[in-house]
Amino acid sequence: MPRLEGIRSVMVIGSGPIVIGQGCEFDYSGTQAIRALREEGLRVVLINSNPATIMTDPDMADATYLEPLTFDACRAIIEKERPDVLLPTLGGQTALNLSMELSDSGVLEEFGVRLIGVDLNAIRRAEDRSGFKVLCEEAGLDTPRSAVVHSIEEAMHALDLLGLPAIIRPSFTLGGSGSGMARTREDFVRIVKTGLRKSPVHEVLIEESIEGWKEFELEVMRDRDGNHVVVCSIENLDPMGVHTGDSITVAPVQTLRDREYQLMRDAAFSIMDAVGIWGGANVQFAVEPATGRMTVIEMNPRVSRSSALASKATGYPIAKVAARLALGYTLAELPNDVVGTIPAAFEPSLDYVVVKIPRWNFEKFRGVEDVLGSQMQSIGEVMALGRTFNEALQKALRSLESDWAGFDTVELAPADLERLLSTPSSMRLFAVKAAYTAGLDTARIHELSRIDPWFLENLRGLVEFEKRVRAQAFPPTREFMRAAKRFGFSDRQLAGLWGVGEDDVTAAREGMDIHPVVKMVDTCAGEFEARTPYYYIVYDDECDVESDARRSRQAKKKVVILGSGPNRIGQGIEFDYCCVHAAMAVREMGCESIMVNCNPETVSTDFDISDRLYFEPVSYEHVMAVVRKEKPAGVIFQFGGQTPLKLLHRLAAAGVTVLGTGVESVDRAEDRERCHELMNELGIMHPPCAFASSREAAVREAAKIGYPLLLRPPYVLGGRSMELVRSEEEILESIDSALRSSESRALMIDKFIEGAVEVDVDCVSDGENVVIAGVMEHMEEAGIHSGDSSCVIPPLALEEEIIAEIKRQTVRIARALNLVGMMNAQFAIKDNRIYCFEINPRASRTVPYVSKATGVQWVKLATRAIMGEKLDMQRYGETIMPDYMSVKVPVFPFEKFPGVDSILGPEMRSTGEVMGIGETFDEAFIKAQFAAGYRLPKGAGVFISVANRYKRKVIFPVKALREMGYHIVATPGMAKVLRSHGVPVRVVHKLSEGDQGIIDMVEAGEVHLVVNMAWSRKSIEDDKFIRLAANKMKVQCITTMAGFHALVLGLQTLSGGPLHVESIQNYNARLAKPAARETAQGEVRAAGEAA
């Protein structure tokens, strides 16, 4: 059946910023779907506030709105663009919820927009817990016993029927937010209360506990005629009780008999039919091990994290097919892209095992216990493919970049062992190893962990084999070595066990003629000849690639691009954006791009992006294997963040050609001392700094430099373990833990320039000419990690001469480093003095944002420079200064970590970012605030509590808030100041002193915004409880002066009229045409030509 008639344009809603539970998998799916929709000749209108996405590149959709994902913005876009249809299934829960709102409010009807892909009424049933249960029962399927309640009284009644432990799930929340497992009555009451509050419909589901049951997922496609296929089956290693996003998962299912699996498949189809989806969905099941009883847990009627994983695990492009199914095509009409001769109506057969492991960042959130539950906490994930579970598991562990070489031994206190087995955490896998080592048997470990014995026995196999490795002299026999490699042991891991160098193991292995081979992901287990260049590397006998290469004899120049590995705080989607652009540029230049990465959520691991994709850990052994097989002209290191840079030395030493900035230059920029020497040579000021490797030395050096100071370990990304100290007292408090957290047991002590304005600069160089991509002014004062700062392009308040000087300095540094490619430099400006405090000889986190703001795809330009092209100075010599404002605002995961202080500091903790564009800064900023999820309803209460030094500064913004109708609440001291300026204030005490305290007000929902600015460490500690309360109640907490000012200005702007929306294509079109620019002036350009 051909596609539906009358569709010329389609609106797609993205998922917004990267947050826990909604990561870059939606960029992968969205990008793929948008490409498919455009191939259909449709006009695509996209709204997404996340500038770091590929989908928001101006050449992806026809009209791209980097606008907040709010009802108002969507309505404005619909009114302007008049799309024929809305496809709501590509942007996660965010898009689905927005679509429902648009439908319910009549907006879709008003503008004649049809919804495709799903029937909203059916979705509503599936999304609503009680509706879903009824739906399953109607389909004859078993679900856990449960009750839906709307009050605590109803909940207590339900508890009597269902008993403990019980699971509490609020309806309509993101990523399981607000849900939890209650083992005691106290827990139960607490979680139900929170859940009722979090649920937009004030509803929670209370369920019998199926904790410890086996957990499965099926990724299913269905078309308008009711044909279905299962694309991928997934089994969770972690049984029920751990959110699937936090579980180690394996594809395909491992421990179900065919009969059991087919019943699950039938059940998934029944649900799909009941909901009537045209597209893809994920259905989750639990199976009671002892009885085999199967129950349906939930269904997600859209692309999801699991569907992205399933696509990568099988090679089946779910999002692309789903988009076409939504248009009305049938599965039989669409081709399987991997094997062109068969239709999309096909169930992939795998001849390998896939393991996914989540990546957590607990170390970033002090006060959060590393315990996993029904609320997702991981920031990213890795996937690995192997011929066996063991091989895939060990590859996945290496991919995590947690410094593991495989299934390593982690020291765990024996006393903790049983707790670590029974309480899921990020360390449970290692606890299993420790348990076997300590002599526990599978039965006991299973009893404690409920992990299926099949998984446990395989893990035991690894533990046993490791023992044999240890007992073996080096070098072992060929047979032994071969067995070790087939078990997934890396050379580095074996080297550690044998106490020799990794190079020794590699040399011995190669001497024994044991080499990795390349296998293809072809969806069909080798049955058909596939054409998709998607590969993985294993230690097996036959290599798929050699024979294929012989057939097609490639003459093109090959370039390997190293990806950025799992998303984690400090290294997220921005780097994947860069890698994708680099791959595109390489292909545009007629060369062959070869991507190496292990993150299943990303666009870079879509096999359509590169000529060849190697789904492999970005580690030495695996990258070398790719290089050996492909014999590329060179490797590009600078787009995957710090991950590839860490490999630069060794790969270069092994004879790999480095494309772009070389080893020596990277060293000079990254080594603190050498970097300072460089700046001294260039006459560029940098904050005084010193090294210290002991407590005494630190205090001595600190006194020399003078407080305040920043303490940090050398070589870190995302400001890990970075701390601001203002006095000797504070440094003494911090020094021991700081020294401990530094791998090299040394610390950097930098002068902190109080009150400075920070500036980020991104530039591109071809080795001679340097082009400034963007100069970004941070809104927060120095001291807050650049990744956690809001920033604006063009700079708001910097003087022309300062900007020019910053650019000059950047150019000088780039030149001195012989930079080829991209560089990021960070400056602090105070009293008209410019200090350069950081140089990153690679593409930085801000590159996608700069690209969106300036309308230039800088990574492509940089890639061309890396490939030897000279920069077109005519075109790019003069820095682009748009006549509109672009603001980037970070997004934080605090609401997932209720016990964490939200005050910002030098350690980065944001997971994502949003961008707002407007005619004025205020407009751009408030849009970005909305995009980041902040809301301040009219007439809401605002609580003000700031340190003395800020009291005067907040008077006018507070006054403005009051004039806009907000109610001001303040502590007695603050209230006094405000009243003396004529602001009516309600006084509240911080602590409850008989009277209602601030915490009570926050919890009662009487305060919607907390403005809390602390100064000393003591005041930070003193007010922590207020921020925690705010965080717990999802109340926005502003901790910086700049943020407060901007918010108030933005609110004022907004009260002036309706939200104005504009596509990025239209904004970019306003940038002066390069040809029309004056080319004769510009100091930067002059500097460039002088070279």
Q: Which residues bind other proteins (CB under 8 A)?
A: 1, 225-227, 229, 233, 252-259, 261-262, 265-266, 289-292, 330-332, 339, 341-343, 345-353, 387-389, 452-454, 457-458, 465, 468, 479-480, 483, 486, 519, 524-529, 540-542, 544
What would the two tokens of residue 892 be?
């934080």
In the complex with other proteins, the residue whose CB is nearer, 52 or 339, is 339
Name the minimum Å distance from CB 253 to other proteins.
Answer: 7
What would the two tokens of residue 552 be?
């097609």
Name the minimum Å distance from CB 102 to other proteins.
Answer: 34
Strand stretches in 754-884, DSSP E: 757-766, 770-781, 791-793, 820-830, 833-840
Are the CB atoms for 129 and 205 separated by under 8 Å?
A: yes
Distance separating alpha carbons of residues 608 and 319, to the nearest angstrom:
13
Phi-psi label, residue 970: left if phi above 0, alpha if psi -120 to 50, beta otherwise: beta
SS3 for 622-667 is HHHHHHHHHCCCEEECCCCCHHHHHHHHHHHHCCCCEECCCHHHHH
Name the minimum Å distance from CB 409 to other proteins.
Answer: 20
What would the two tokens of residue 669 be?
């920029």
What would the two tokens of residue 336 be?
């399987």
Are the CB atoms for 381 and 358 separated by under 8 Å?
A: yes
Q: Which residues have CB under 8 Å from 761's CB, separation 6+?
A: 772, 774, 775, 776, 806, 807, 810, 824, 825, 826, 827
In the complex with other proteins, the residue whose CB is nearer, 340 or 511, is 340
Name the minimum Å distance from CB 467 to other proteins.
Answer: 12
Q: What is the dihedral sign for C-alpha 899, 904, 909, 912? A: positive
Q: What is the DSSP letter of 869?
A: P
* Helix, strand, or coil (residue 699): helix
What would the two tokens of residue 952 be?
């005067």
Residue 522 CB coordination number (10 Å): 25
Residue of 233, 337, 340, 347 lying closest to 284 (CA atoms): 233
Are the CB atoms for 565 and 599 separated by under 8 Å?
A: yes
In the complex with other proteins, the residue whose CB is nearer, 485 or 842, is 485
In the complex with other proteins, the residue whose CB is nearer, 37 or 350, is 350
Name the minimum Å distance from CB 185 to other proteins.
Answer: 35
What would the two tokens of residue 872 be?
């077109």
Q: Which residues have CB under 8 Å from 82's CB, separation 6+?
A: 9, 111, 112, 113
In the complex with other proteins, the residue whose CB is nearer, 132 or 455, is 455
Distance separating alpha carbons of residues 1070 and 1065, to the nearest angstrom:
9
Helix (H) or strand (E) run with residue 1045 in it = helix 1041-1054
In the complex with other proteins, the residue whose CB is nearer, 468 or 470, is 468
In the complex with other proteins, the residue whose CB is nearer, 257 or 745, is 257
Backbone dihedral angles phi then psi of residue 1056, each to the nearest 5 degrees: -80, -15
Are the CB atoms for 1001 and 943 separated by under 8 Å?
A: yes
Are the CB atoms for 526 and 351 separated by under 8 Å?
A: yes
Q: Which residues have CB under 8 Å from 480's CB, separation 6+?
A: 468, 472
Q: What is the DSSP letter of 112?
A: T
In the complex with other proteins, the residue whose CB is nearer, 338 or 748, is 338
In the complex with other proteins, the residue whose CB is nearer, 220 or 946, is 220
In the complex with other proteins, the residue whose CB is nearer, 465 or 752, is 465
Name the minimum Å distance from CB 109 to other proteins.
Answer: 33
Name the minimum Å distance from CB 322 to other proteins.
Answer: 16
Q: What is the DSSP letter of 327?
A: T
What would the two tokens of residue 99 be?
């679509």
**CA neighbours within 13 Å on the CB side: how many for 411?**
0
In the complex with other proteins, the residue whose CB is nearer, 254 or 1066, is 254
Residue 682 CB coordination number (10 Å): 13
- B/e letters for 221-253, b = 16+ CB within 10 Å, e = fewer, are bbbbeebbbbbbbbbbbbbbbbbbbbbbbbbbb
Distance of CA 808 to the CA centre of its chain: 34
In the complex with other proteins, the residue whose CB is nearer, 222 or 1027, is 222
Are the CB atoms for 545 and 518 separated by under 8 Å?
A: yes
Name the minimum Å distance from CB 254 to other proteins.
Answer: 5
Name the minimum Å distance from CB 441 to other proteins.
Answer: 13
Name the minimum Å distance from CB 551 to other proteins.
Answer: 11
In the complex with other proteins, the residue whose CB is nearer, 258 or 993, is 258
Name the minimum Å distance from CB 167 to other proteins.
Answer: 25
Name the minimum Å distance from CB 260 to other proteins.
Answer: 8
Residue of 624, 630, 617 lying closest to 650 (CA atoms): 624
Name the minimum Å distance from CB 630 to other proteins.
Answer: 20
In the complex with other proteins, the residue whose CB is nearer, 349 or 657, is 349
Residue 554 CB coordination number (10 Å): 12
In the complex with other proteins, the residue whose CB is nearer, 227 or 1019, is 227
In the complex with other proteins, the residue whose CB is nearer, 342 or 960, is 342
Could you tell me which residues are beta bridge partners of residue 659?
636
In the complex with other proteins, the residue whose CB is nearer, 65 or 489, is 489
Looking at 147-257, list the stretches that DSSP marks H as alpha helix, in order from N- to C-terminal side: 152-162, 185-198
Name the minimum Å distance from CB 331 to other proteins.
Answer: 6
Name the minimum Å distance from CB 314 to other proteins.
Answer: 11
Distance separating alpha carbons of residues 707 and 28, to the nearest angstrom:
46
Name the minimum Å distance from CB 408 to other proteins.
Answer: 21
Helix (H) or strand (E) run with residue 1037 in it = strand 1036-1038
Name the minimum Å distance from CB 617 to other proteins.
Answer: 20
Could you tell me which residues are beta bridge partners of residue 692?
747
Name the minimum Å distance from CB 256 to other proteins.
Answer: 6
